[in-house]
Every structure is written in structure tokens, then in C-alpha cells.
Copies of this chain bind each other. A is one copy, B any other.
Amino acid sequence: SDSGDGNVSACEFLLSGFETKAVLRDSAREKNIFIHGKIADQETVVILEKTPIREENLFELFKNSRLKLEMKNDIYSTYQLHPPPHLNEIKTTVVCPATEKHVKKYLRQETFLVEETGEDYRSITLPFIQSQSFSIQWVYNILEKKAEADRIVYEDPDPKVGFVLLPDFKWDQKQLDDLYLIAIVHRKDIKSLRDLTSEHIPLLCNIRKRGEDAIQKQYGVPANKLRVYLHYQPSYYHLHVHFTSLSYDAPGSGVERAHLLSDVIQNLQADAQYYHSRSLCFPLRADDGLLSKFKNAGRL
């Protein structure tokens, strides 16, 4: 029926001759896949993503689909359902011609879980951090009000237990659903969780109490709807604490990287040197310089 329209036909079969070179990234959770390949000698990136299941289609879906039994146990059973194609499309995005930059942008790096002992920290991680000259001037700019001063939600100026609280860049502040704030401490001598001892308990308790109060006051979100945690490894080595909405599945809030502030405080109360001596697990990307240091040290 579209034989008179060259464009539609060209589109319809655009991907039938697609040559896949590599899967750049995919997500089983989000049901998408990013593919690098070629269409008629042109570098191309194709992104496929299954579509959400819509309530208004359920009646037709149940009526016109067949089930194939996979497993039955007591009251539970699982099946494969084959719906009519028009109720089950895949959203497709084509970038053609694609540059090398597009390809890199979509390429996922493998990650590896590293288990770092206290000794590993001192012999591998700390020298690596010190050898990096990754500037944290932007953090000092915030603390000294040279930048982002208008974004500050709360400040405790005390030099020992004080901090600045401001929205994370990832939060557009348009809805409370994905609330995300960061508390940055005024002290400049604490690189990460590894430097914390019982000496810092008053600082941590102060951040917890006053951070939660400020968020309640400013946004009306109570403490029991917040997830308050530190990252290890952090993305910059100046102590900061994350406050995210409990209902928001925030990137970086997984157990392999996040440490609840309430656990950190309790662990330090029980053992002043907990984070000095304990093994800590964290993920590293394949292209992270720290990963090669662990490999070279035979620790991976």
C-alpha cells in the first residue's frame, strides 16, 4: 500500500541490511540496547528500547495473546506471553552517520568489584589519589562563596563541624521525587570514609541532624523519607554526604558503593579505627587508573 512512496519503503527496510559490529551497552533492567554497526557503508548507532506496558492495552493484550508455561510451584506460575505485534513495539533510534564520539558516548565500560584492605588503601589507593592532580578548586569555590553561593540551602559555618548544603547538579529541583542534596564539610583534611575516626563523630552527627532539619524546613521532606550516605570511592576526595529521597532509586545508592551515615556513625562509636582497618568493597570501571594499580599489585 505504500509502494508509491519511496521514503516510507526506504525507512521500512532501513535496518534489514544493518551489519552489527558491537553492542556498546545494554540494560536488562531497562530493556534497551545500544548497537554500533553499518548501514550501506555508513557508521551507525542504533538504540532499541522496549516500550512501557500501557494500562489501556491490557484488555486486548490478555484477550489476544497466548501463554507458554515455564514453571509452576504452589500458587506461583510463570509463562511466556506472545502479544500481537502492534501492542509490543520497540522504540528505535538511529544515528547515521555516527561519529567516533557518538560511539564512545554510548560505550559501556565493564566494572569490577575490588576488595580493598586497610593496607591496600595505604599502599595502593592513597599513593594513586595523591599522584592525581584532579583539581577540587570547584569545591573550595563553593565553600568560599566564589561560586554557586545562590544555590546554598543551608550553612553551618563552624570550621570543625560545619558544612554547606546545596542541591546536587543531577536534581533540577522541579519535583521532590528525585530530591538530591550534598553536604560539603568545611574541613579540608578529610579525603574520604577511610580518613574517618571517632574524632569525627561530632561532625557526622552535626551533618545528619542539621542537614535533615534544613531539608525538612526547606522542602517539607522529613528525615524518615531520606537516604543519607557517603560514597566509597567518592568521585572527589573532599568529604561530602549525599541526601536523596528514599523513593528515588538514585544512581550510586547501591550497596556496593554507598555507606549509610547512620551505620558509619555507629561503626565509629564501636571502633574508633573501623574505617582504617576494615576491608571495603567498591566497583571500578575498566578504564579507571586505580584498577590497573590493583592489577599491578596482584590484588585482582
Question: Are the C-beta atoms of A148 and B59 separated by less than 8 Å?
Answer: no
The interface bits of chain A over 127-165 (1 if a CB of B lies within 8 angstroms of the residue's CB, else 0) are 000000000011001100001100100000000000000
A82 CB to nearest B CB, Å: 4
B residues in contact with A50, CB < 8 Å? 31, 50-51, 53, 88
Q: Which of B69, B137, B224, B262 has a CB less than 8 Å from the CB of A112?
A: B224
Stretch at the interface among A186-194, A198-206, A249-257: A249-257
A97 to B260, CA, bound (A): 39
Q: Is the CB of A15 within 8 A of B65?
A: yes
Q: Is A216 an interface residue (CB 8 A)?
A: no
Number of copies: 2
- Complex CA–CA separation, A285 to B106 (angstroms): 35
What chain B residues lie within 8 Å of A271 (beta carbons)? 270
Out of B68, B95, B224, B248, which one reaches A29, CB within 8 Å? B248
Cβ contact within 8 Å between A281 and B256: no
Partner of A85, one of B53, B69, B85, B96: B85
Tell whether, in the assembled complex, residue B259 and residue A255 are in contact, meaning their CB atoms are under 8 Å apart: yes
Find residues 68-120 in chain A having any chain B CB closer than 8 Å to their own CB.
Answer: 68-69, 71, 73-86, 88-98, 108, 110-115
Contact B91 A80 (CB under 8 A): yes
Tell me if A53 and B76 are in contact (CB < 8 A).
no
Q: Which residue of B lies closest to A177 (CB)?
A: B28
Interface size class of A (residues with CB under 8 A): 35 or more
Known A12-B67, A138-B73, A147-B73: A248·B53 in contact at CB below 8 Å: no
Chain B residue contacts of A138, Cβ below 8 A: 73-74, 76
Q: Does A124 contact B (CB under 8 A)?
A: no
Chain B proximity mask over A41-80: 1 for CB below 8 Å, otherwise 0: 0000000101111010011011101111101011111111
* A78, closest chain B residue (CB): B93
In the complex, per-residue mask of A217-248: 1 if CB is within 8 Å of any chain B CB, else 0: 00000011111010000000000000000111
CB-CB < 8 A to A91: which residues of B? Answer: 78-81
Cα–Cα distance between A102 and B267 once the two chains are bound (Å): 37
* Residue A178 is within 8 A (CB to CB) of chain B in the complex: yes
**25 contacting pairs across A/B (C-beta < 8 A):** A11-B69, A14-B67, A20-B62, A27-B52, A31-B53, A32-B53, A33-B55, A35-B58, A65-B90, A71-B148, A71-B151, A74-B137, A74-B147, A75-B98, A77-B96, A78-B92, A80-B89, A80-B90, A80-B92, A82-B86, A224-B300, A227-B255, A255-B260, A266-B278, A266-B279
